[in-house]
Chain A
Amino acid sequence: MKIIGLIIAVLTGALLIYGTVDFPEWADPASPASTHLSPHFIEKTMEETSVPNIVTAVLADYRGYDTMFETTVIFAAGVVCFFLLRILKKEGPRQRLYRHALTGMTIRIRDGEKRPSVLDEFERIDTMWTPYDVIIKTVCRLLIPFIQLFALYVIAHGHHSPGGGFQGGVILGASIILLAISQDLRTAIKRMSEKVDAILSPAGVFIYAGTGALCLLLGGNFLDYSALASILHVDPVTARSHGILIVEIGVGVAVMATLIWIYNNVSSAGKYDEGL
């Protein structure tokens, strides 16, 4: 079987290479990809959408419909992870570990045993707990606000520089995941609960698709942001630019919430109790 597989792989590779023989030269300015549509985008983007970053304009406006579904793909991945992994039955771990913060003493309480009343001097720790590192904890605590600020900048500045909703959303999500890694999963869930993730994730996509549907209700085609001009009180071209910003925010929210949601489900195997 391995030999058959190898032969098929080689044949497929050969076919692919054979197909490239008639490709245009590498970076040829006269290639069809550079002459067919690109001139239009390069020349007209500014006057049609008033967005200086052509990539953003193509991504979120000319082909904004694809981008909406790319966001939906991420949302779908989040839902699938939740659907397959989450264990909703309330069954606690067989044992919980508590650590006395001052002395470092650890006690173990099996499931069903009576909990001592003085437990509030203890903190709950994971089974695979390693002693806290002050440096890591402090650095992460210092960095996270700046990471989040930078994420907001990336989302907002997608019009002018590389960036946008996907990248900004990933950075935002990563900041919360960093919290979960540097402290523990329960701390992160205290900041962003499961329900918040699960509602923000579709809400972000809803901002995108809802903006498109709003255009439709205002008399334009789906995702034709220029129809928003009447409620934004700007001219149609500027309305396109604003429309892009609105959907980028939607993308950012969806990507952030979905990443955290996926991380929570995967790292705790659906139990939301002990993370990595």
Chain B
Amino acid sequence: MSQQYPALLVVVPLLAALVICGAGWVNKRLCFPIAVAGLGVAAYSCIGLLLRVLDEGVIVYKLGGWDPPMGIAYYVDHLNGLVLVVVSVVALLNLIASKKSVAQEFPDKIGPFYALYVLMVTGLLGIVVTGDAFNLYVLLEIASLTGYGLLAMGEDRAPLAALNYLYMGTIGACFYLLGVGYLYIITGSLNMVDIARILPSLYQSKAVLGAFMICMVGVWLKMAFFPLHAWLPNAYTYASSAASSLIAPLVTKVMIYVMIRLILTVFTPEFAFNILAVSEPIVWLAVIAIVMGAILALGERNLKKMLTYIIIAEVGYMVGGAWLGNRVGMTGAILHIVNDALMTLCLFLVVGNIVHKVKGYAFEDLKGLFRKMPFTMCAFVVGALSIIGVPPTCGFFSKWYLISGAIQAGHYAFMVALLFSSLVNVVLFFRIIEIAFFEPFTDHHAHGHDHQPEPIDEAPLTMLVPLWIVAAALVIVGIYTGDIVNNIIQFAIPEGII
């Protein structure tokens, strides 16, 4: 069966989503186990696939048995092997962690929620695993459509924020599709490897330039790269905790993967870095994204919204790192996909726990939380240290690679932006830790003041255990960074990039 891993990791969650949708009408309690089973098989296949890739190199899987470029083929190399594992594991952990909050937030719509959840993960996994430019768009549609639905269900302002996201996301996806259309007209192929084979003779063509720019802008819109980020903060903030802790860690990261895939495989680094003179301006855009993300985050008095601005800054890290055009920067960008997915998941799970118990995430709601929810807040500290970039957490190492890449490329502004953002993160997180540690817990509903210490009122174990696994993973990934880079990421970057 190991030959079929590439198909299983998409097909099993898809079938699971369909079964969940039907099972919701029979017995709601069936939905969660089916979802766990579906994503569990997907995660198992992803890990098995990565191990096979480490052994055998690139794996090609022909869907329908047709040879590419006639049919659709999956190409799994070290790059998407790694991202697949991250996506499936993050989705599975969040699924288990959010069981209680889903039951609390949508008691009568558990079936459709889990169906959309699993379908969204199917879409994300499909985007990552595919080797066909149009197939990527189709899966992007699935991931986006389900994402709009999941984000629209939440607080009062959630539908409006999701509608905003829907407009922007649709424009982004259309741009990508238009770019693929351009490529098809001039190459006659949709297969990424085939396009890359045909393109070199057309590098001077204006249509290739047009296709490249449109694809990039489309992907940037979907990943909320700075000037195109306006949809993200509200959409992620007002959504339910279960949905935002799935979408915040994964969607932007998967879109970064798509950008790197377009650079490395479709247009080739030769075209992106040498023939086009765009890498310099793009890194400058990334610098602005990082600085603006940090500054906007400083202005927030609301934990969840602050985190969304940190995501925007982190997107700047990865885009900048990928466009530095050297091996170290690209390594940093790919490593940061892994790390940022884990860090963001950790922090959003913490927010989920806080919302579950305190019913709010504004700074005033955080008072005294270290006493009330010590285990959750310890994980928060680990996540915060990782975002700041304190060794031995993983955030330090990817930032190290990014900064070394910036120095090697001679792009000191990017280095300064990274350091600035780290300093701002210190301020952001220590401000929260101060509020949560020193200020006493105030219950808005209780009358009168008694100075009794607040008893521990932790989130349930099903939420704490996944959170702690993620927090531990932040440290473990940090310690094994060397192995990840030497055994996986090193092979993900083509020889041409020095």
On whether A76 and B119 interact (CB within 8 A), knowing A61-B64, A69-B139, A221-B64, the answer reads yes
Number of residues of chain A lying within 8 A (CB) of chain B:
60
One of A127-135, A166-174, A205-213 at the interface: A205-213
Q: Do B64 and A64 touch (CB < 8 A)?
A: yes
Q: Do B210 and A65 touch (CB < 8 A)?
A: no
What's the minimum C-beta distance from B44 to chain A, rounded to whole angstroms?
A: 16
Per the bound structure, the CA–CA distance linking A182 and B69 in Å amounts to 49
Per the bound structure, the CA–CA distance linking A210 and B184 in Å amounts to 31
Per the bound structure, the CA–CA distance linking A63 and B63 in Å amounts to 8
One of A29-37, A112-120, A137-145, A152-160 at the interface: A29-37
Give the A-B pair count, Cβ closer than 8 A.
176
Question: B366: CB under 8 A from chain A?
Answer: no
What's the minimum C-beta distance from B230 to chain A, rounded to whole angstroms?
A: 12
One of A91-99, A103-111, A184-192, A196-204 at the interface: A196-204
Q: Do B21 and A221 touch (CB < 8 A)?
A: no
Question: B141: CB under 8 A from chain A?
Answer: yes
Per the bound structure, the CA–CA distance linking A254 and B186 in Å amounts to 35
Per the bound structure, the CA–CA distance linking A199 and B8 in Å amounts to 24
Q: Which of A21, A203, A222 has the most CB of B within 10 A?
A: A222
Selected contact of A198 from candidates B25, B70, B182, B205, CB within 8 Å: B25
Question: B42: CB under 8 A from chain A?
Answer: no
On whether A40 and B70 interact (CB within 8 A), knowing A69-B126, A202-B18, A213-B11, the answer reads yes
One of B147-155, B319-327, B404-412 at the interface: B147-155
What's the minimum C-beta distance from B70 to chain A, rounded to whole angstroms?
A: 6
What residues make up the interface of A, taking CB atoms closer than 8 Å to B? 15-16, 18-24, 31-38, 40-41, 61-66, 69-70, 72-73, 75-77, 79-80, 82-84, 86, 88-89, 195, 198-199, 201-203, 205-206, 209-210, 212-213, 216, 220-226
16 example contacts (A-B, Cβ-Cβ < 8 A) are as follows: A15-B214, A16-B214, A31-B188, A34-B188, A36-B187, A66-B138, A70-B138, A79-B119, A80-B145, A84-B152, A209-B15, A209-B18, A210-B15, A213-B11, A216-B4, A221-B7
Per the bound structure, the CA–CA distance linking A221 and B72 in Å amounts to 12
In the complex, which residues of chain B have a beta carbon less than 8 angstroms from the beta carbon of A75? 18, 21
Per the bound structure, the CA–CA distance linking A21 and B153 in Å amounts to 45
In the complex, which residues of chain A have a beta carbon less than 8 angstroms from the beta carbon of B65? 220-221, 224, 226
Per the bound structure, the CA–CA distance linking A228 and B126 in Å amounts to 25
In the complex, which residues of chain A have a beta carbon less than 8 angstroms from the beta carbon of B112? 79, 82-83
What's the minimum C-beta distance from B267 to chain A, rounded to whole angstroms?
A: 14
Q: Do A216 and B185 touch (CB < 8 A)?
A: no
| Nearest opposing residue in chain B for A44, CB measure | B70
Interface of chain A, helix or strand or loop or mixed?
helix
Question: B357: CB under 8 A from chain A?
Answer: no
| Nearest opposing residue in chain B for A77, CB measure | B145
Q: Do A65 and B64 touch (CB < 8 A)?
A: yes
Q: Which of B7, B108, B182 has the most CB of A within 10 A?
A: B7
What's the minimum C-beta distance from B271 to chain A, rounded to whole angstroms?
A: 15
Q: Which of A34, A38, A75, A225 has the most CB of B within 10 A?
A: A75
Q: Mark out the residues of chain B between 1 and 45 whose CB falls within 8 Å of any chain A CB in the assembled complex.
A: 4, 7-8, 11, 14-15, 17-19, 21-22, 25
On whether A32 and B72 interact (CB within 8 A), knowing A69-B142, A222-B4, A222-B64, the answer reads no
Q: Do A209 and B11 touch (CB < 8 A)?
A: yes
Q: Do A73 and B141 touch (CB < 8 A)?
A: yes
Per the bound structure, the CA–CA distance linking A22 and B64 in Å amounts to 34
What's the minimum C-beta distance from A31 to chain B, rounded to whole angstroms?
A: 7
In the complex, which residues of chain B have a beta carbon less than 8 angstroms from the beta carbon of A62? 64, 66, 70-71
Q: Mark out the residues of chain B between 55 and 74 whose CB falls within 8 Å of any chain A CB in the assembled complex.
A: 61-66, 69-72
On whether A69 and B138 interact (CB within 8 A), knowing A36-B189, A221-B62, the answer reads yes
Selected contact of A221 from candidates B15, B17, B61, B113, CB within 8 Å: B61
In the complex, which residues of chain B have a beta carbon less than 8 angstroms from the beta carbon of A35? 188
Q: Do B186 and A32 touch (CB < 8 A)?
A: yes
Per the bound structure, the CA–CA distance linking A202 and B159 in Å amounts to 25
Q: Do A23 and B153 touch (CB < 8 A)?
A: no
Q: Do A22 and B11 touch (CB < 8 A)?
A: no
Question: B128: CB under 8 A from chain A?
Answer: no
Question: B109: CB under 8 A from chain A?
Answer: yes
In the complex, which residues of chain A have a beta carbon less than 8 angstroms from the beta carbon of B70? 37, 40-41, 62
Q: Write out, one digit per residue, whether chain B residues 294-320 have a CB within 8 A of any chain A CB (1) or not (0).
A: 000000000000000000000000000
Q: Do A66 and B205 touch (CB < 8 A)?
A: no
In the complex, which residues of chain A have a beta carbon less than 8 angstroms from the beta carbon of B205? 22
Question: B449: CB under 8 A from chain A?
Answer: no
On whether A24 and B185 interact (CB within 8 A), knowing A83-B116, A222-B11, A223-B63, the answer reads yes
What's the minimum C-beta distance from B63 to chain A, rounded to whole angstroms?
A: 4
Selected contact of B63 from candidates A40, A86, A222, CB within 8 Å: A222
